Amino acid sequence: MNLNSELSWVDPKNDPNNRSLLFAKKIFHKQKQNQFVKLSEFNVLPIKQKLESLTPETSFLFNTGGTSGNTKLIQHTYKSMYAGVKSLIDCLKLDELSSWCCLPLHHVAGIMQIIRAKFTGGTVYFLDYRDLCSEIICQEVSHKWISLVPTQLHYLIKNSIACENLRKFRGIFIGGSRLSEKLATECRSLELPLYPTYGMTETAGMVTILKKTDFLNGMDGVGKPLPHSSLKLENESNKILVKSKSTAPNLIGQGLKSDWFQTPDFGRVDDRGNWWIDGRSDRILITGGKKVNPDKIERILLNTGLVEGCLIKGEKSEVWGDCITAFISPKDADLENLKMKASKILEAFEVPKKWQLVENLPLSEMGKPR
The CATH number of the domain holding residue 293 is 3.30.300.30
Based on the fold, state whether residues 45 and 94 are members of the same structural domain: yes
Distance of CA 170 to the CA centre of its chain: 19
Number of domains in the chain: 2
Based on the fold, state whether residues 275 and 288 are members of the same structural domain: no
Based on the fold, state whether residues 311 and 196 are members of the same structural domain: no
Residue 16: cis peptide before it, omega within 30 degrees of 0 = no
Based on the fold, state whether residues 302 and 269 are members of the same structural domain: no
Strand order in the sheet with 36-40: 43-47, 36-40, 59-64, 72-77
Domain interval for residue 275: 19-280
State yes or no: pLDDT of 167 exceeds 90: yes
Q: What is the pLDDT of residues 210-224, one digit of tens each?
A: 999 999 999 999 999
Based on the fold, state whether residues 197 and 305 are members of the same structural domain: no
Q: What value does the mean pLDDT take over residues 346-361?
A: 92
Q: How confident is the model at residue 70 (pLDDT cuts 50, 70, 90)?
A: low
Q: In this structure, are residues 320 and 288 in contact, taking their beta carbons and an 8 Å threshold? A: yes
> In b/e form, how buried is each residue of 158-196, taking b as 16+ CB within 10 angstroms?
eeeebbebbeebbbbbbbbbbbbebbbeebeebebbbbb
Based on the fold, state whether residues 184 and 141 are members of the same structural domain: yes
Residue 189 lies in a domain: yes
Based on the fold, state whether residues 135 and 169 are members of the same structural domain: yes
State yes or no: pLDDT of 52 exceeds 80: no
Q: In this structure, are residues 260 and 241 in contact, taking their beta carbons and an 8 Å threshold? A: yes
Residue 227 lies in a domain: yes
For the chain, report the end-to-end CA distance as a whole number of angstroms.
Answer: 38
pLDDT at 117: 97
Rg (C-alpha) for the chain, rounded Å, is 21
Q: Determine what percent of the chain is predicted with pLDDT higher than 90.
A: 64
Closest CA to 328 of 341, 318, 319, 347: 341
Rounded (10°) CA dihedral 298, 270, 84, 180: -20
* H-only helix segments in the chain: 19-33, 78-92, 108-120, 150-156, 160-166, 181-189, 212-216, 294-302, 335-345
Identity of the amino acid at 158: K
